[in-house]
Structure 1
Amino acid sequence: MAQIHEDVVWLKPGQVAERAGLAVSTLHYYESLGLIRSRRTAGNRREYRRDTLRVLAFIRASQRVGISLDRIKDALDQLPEEGLPTKKDWARISRQWREDLNDRIEYLTALRDRFSNCIGCGCLSLKSCPYSNPDDILGTQGQGALRFP
């Protein structure tokens, strides 16, 4: 584990949570997943580096576009352990996710454009519904409940 310099500004969990717009329990959860780190004071209380706020903003923005916490952790693990991540570090992560994000944008655009045809339809057709079974992909895999083992 990397050493954290003593001259770094440290914040209490309540301060970080308030500034990030999260619950303290969310900080603890993210820490248990290895997304953020804290140190313990002499009184065994957690403290977070101020730059944790930037990491939390990255996590929230990534989740907002559908990136899983596992993929976010993989990306954060690529950042330098010493010092602050640079613009170049963040750009590298962005390039890695570009194709996936473009696929999501394409899917969501198609969903938006076709969604008005579905509202109020009520057909619940697993064969022809463009949302639950686009192009009858499941029909090519045989009969029965394919999504529910």
Structure 2
Amino acid sequence: MAAEKNPDGVRSLTIGEVARRSGVPISTLHFYESKGLIASTRNAGNQRRFPSLVLRSIAIIKVAQRTGIPLEEIKRAMGRYPPNSKLTAAQWGEMSSAWRDNLNERIRTLEALRDSLDNCIGCGCLSLNDCPLRNPSDTLAQEGPGPRILERASQRI
């Protein structure tokens, strides 16, 4: 069977082909489409068809999600370009640099968490044996809510 092409001459994929080639379940593809992250057209039989470039968009979404970037942020970054478009090197550079500061901050926080896992992080629970030494009478509560020691450590890194 010959590959279907859209009016622009770009190869079109069924939702099943996209799921198989991207490794993403069909339900997730429906979700991405409902959120405006990817777009499909309908053929004469009212079946979804995706341009083959959607595979690149899905790969970007998957990688960004794996690094912890929220879908709303991914949508905002990808929304600067037409759906299913082939990003140029410059466009990809713009998108990735917009995420860089956020990722660097997450890395600092994760490193601080990793280095503090065996110690008090200043959460105010007073339940660990060394909390009375690191946070006697919950004095860190005066600095504000949350893991004060961990937040200080992530800011230093």
Question: Structure 1 length normalisation: TM-score?
Answer: 0.75
SS at match of 1:14: helix
Question: Structure 2 length normalisation: TM-score?
Answer: 0.72
CA distance in 2, matches of 1:23, 1:33: 16
Aligned letter for 1:109? E
Q: 1:22 to 1:74 in 2, by over 3 A?
A: same
Aligned residues: 128
CA distance in 2, matches of 1:139, 1:59: 40
In the alignment, which residue of structure 2 is the partner of 1:89?
Answer: 91
In the alignment, which residue of structure 2 is the partner of 1:29?
Answer: 31
How far did residue 80 of structure 1 move?
4.4
In the alignment, which residue of structure 1 is the partner of 2:60?
Answer: 58
- Name which one, 1 or 2, has greater alpha-carbon Rg: 2
CA distance in 1, matches of 2:15, 2:142: 51
CA distance in 1, matches of 2:40, 2:93: 25
How far did residue 96 of structure 1 move?
1.1
Superposed CA offset, 1:64-114 (max 9, x none): 111111110111111246952101101001111111111000001111111
Q: For 1:74, which of 73, 76, 83 is the aligned residue?
A: 76
SS at match of 2:117: helix
Aligned letter for 1:88? A
CA distance in 2, matches of 1:23, 1:86: 27
In the alignment, which residue of structure 1 is the partner of 2:10?
Answer: 8
Superposed CA offset, 1:94-144 (max 9, x none): 1111111110000011111112347xxxxx85365x9xxxx94x54458xx
Stretches of structure 2 lacking an aligned partner (at least 5 in a row): 1-5, 146-157
Identity across the alignment (%): 41
Q: 4+ runs of 1 displaced by more than 4 Å?
A: 80-83
SS at match of 1:116: coil
Superposed CA offset, 1:29-67 (max 9, x none): 100000000010100000111110110010011111111
CA distance in 2, matches of 1:126, 1:51: 50
